[in-house]
Amino acid sequence: MSTFWSAWVMFLVVLNLGITFFLFLWAPRVKIPVLPDGTTGHVWAHGALRESVRKLPTWWIGFSASMFLWGFIYLALYPGFGAFKGLLGWTSGAQLEQQVRVNDALREPILQRVRAGTVEALAGDAQVTAIGHTLFQENCAACHGSTGRGNTVLGAPNLVDDDWLYAGDGETILTSILDGRRGVMPAWGGALGREGVNQVAAYVLSLGGSEAPEDWVAAGQTHYATLCVACHGADGHGNPVLGAPNLTDDIWLYGGDFARIAETIRDGRAGEMPSLRARLGEDQARIIAAWVYAQSHAAAGNPPVDSSMDSPDGEPSSGAQPHEAG
Ligand code: HEC
Ligand code: HEC
């Protein structure tokens, strides 16, 4: 602080304290004219109210005096009187540093475990998964739902059912979080036409054992063999390298009714999981991966989440509002 501003602040402090002190001494002594009925003679609200004269209560005077005194003590101990640093040498920066050190000391043992252990091992560490759960709510719930059961509008998969687009081991889950994923399902509406799309959709339904018109299924199978096997496999079990889902297990990214499947085939899909490396860093990503692993592999530790909290079709629950980035 420059000398000028320091002097200016000192001047303001002295002025304010001076005015306060003056009022404090002057107010109790000031003579208010009192009429014989004990009022000042001021009449308010057309005669309904008359202004009485009362002494300041003693407790109020005592309280004000002690506050006044405290003002001096404060200015002596802490920064406030211009550039004077206060006798205690307190600064907000030093206090922050001190609190950060305390916090780091609390975090350190947990972070050491996080850095040393595999995701699978961390999934059994209740302290780590509790933090992971909170971080999941903050960073993932907007898309995957507050209990991790996914969202068929965004194509964000259920993360707690131990069914995976990529794979369910700790390292693969961690890679999904750090680097993101993008599943690309091409659009076939142009190549197949409306009828062809219906046929192959019927065939996809039949793969999971659902009822579908037989002639559509037969024609659909031919289309499937030429257009779809490359990614979804001859038996429809998918391909974890491409993130092409298993079409036979009745678990659906985008919904498993005929209309949704036909829509997927006609228009294609490109579900995108953003890369969260920059936002989370390695440590936090490992902590969240441990929570996801624990939820999806119940044997690893925590019991699975309460499935009654998200609606069954995977719509985002009320807890899954989009979260501000940052
Ligand atoms: C913007 C929405 C969005 C956010 C935020 C998001 N995800 Fe995802 N996530 C997706 C989508 C969409 C996919 C599917 C990607 C695909 O189709 O290939 C996905 C895929 C995944 C997968 C792969 C699942 C599998 O079956 O292999 C994992 C694991 C995952 N997300 C975990 C997380 C975690 C943990 C977080 C928070 C740190 C998170 N995601 C945040 C949208 C999101
Ligand atoms: C280039 C590889 C590729 C080809 C070829 C392909 N798919 Fe896909 N398919 C994918 C991927 C990747 C996804 C996941 C999309 C996402 O993550 O958003 C997907 C998703 C789907 C889904 C949605 C599954 C769900 O769980 O909601 C259906 C249905 C589907 N494909 C059917 C087909 C059919 C039928 C064909 C052939 C006409 C086909 N796919 C051809 C890669 C492919």
Ligand 2-lining residues (CB < 6 angstroms): 155, 183-186, 188, 200, 204, 223-224, 227-228, 230-232, 242-245, 247, 252-254, 261, 264-265, 269-271
Atom of ligand 2 nearest to the CA of 242: 12
| ∠ Cα 306 312 314 (to 5°) | 100
Distance 184 CA to ligand 2 centre (A): 7
Task: Spell out where 127-189 has E strands.
Answer: 181-185
Asked if residue 143 belongs to a known ligand binding site, the reply is: yes
Do both 287 and 268 map to the same domain? no
pLDDT one-digit tens code per residue, 264-316: 999 999 999 999 999 999 999 999 999 999 999 875 544 444 444 444 444 44
- Give the CATH number of the domain where residue 114 resides: 1.10.760.10
**Shared domain check, 150 and 37:** no
Verify that 8 and 19 share a domain, yes or no.
Answer: yes
152 and 264 both lie in a single domain: no
CA–centroid distance, residue 273 to ligand 1 (Å): 4
Q: Which of 165, 128, 129 is nearest to 150 (CA)?
A: 165
Q: Does residue 84 lie in a domain region?
A: no
Q: Is residue 314 part of a domain?
A: no
What integer best gives the mean pLDDT of the chain?
A: 88
Residue 251: domain span: 184-272
Mean pLDDT per 10-residue interval, the chain, length 326 residues: 92 94 86 85 86 85 91 94 92 95 92 94 94 96 94 93 93 97 95 94 92 90 95 95 94 92 95 96 96 83 46 42 42
Give residue 279's pLDDT. 96
293 and 148 inside one domain: yes
What's the confidence (pLDDT) of residue 78? 94
Ligand found nearest the CA of 279: 1
Question: What pLDDT score was predicted for residue 326?
Answer: 39
Atom of ligand 2 at shortest range from CA of 269: 18
**Residue holding tokens 């998200």?**
310
Q: Quick check: 142 and 321 in contact, CB under 8 A? A: yes
Predicted TM-score (pTM) of the model is: 0.74
Structure confidence at residue 189 (pLDDT): 94
Same domain, 146 and 203: no
The 3-state DSSP class for residue 313 equals coil
Supply the pLDDT for residue 299. 52
* Cα 95 from chain centre: 27
Statement to judge: residues 265 and 195 lie in one domain: yes
Is 183:270 a contact under the CB 8 Å cutoff?
yes
Both tokens of 140, joined, read 């993932």
Same domain for 112 and 131, yes or no, is: yes
Is residue 102 domain-resident?
Answer: no
Residues linked to residue 44 through DSSP beta bridges, in sequence order: 49
What residues contact 120, with CB distance under 8 A and at least 6 apart?
169, 170, 293, 300
Is there a binding annotation on residue 67? Answer: no
**Cα 150 to middle of ligand 1, angstroms:** 9
Nearest-CA residue for atom 18 of ligand 1: 183
Same domain, 31 and 66: yes
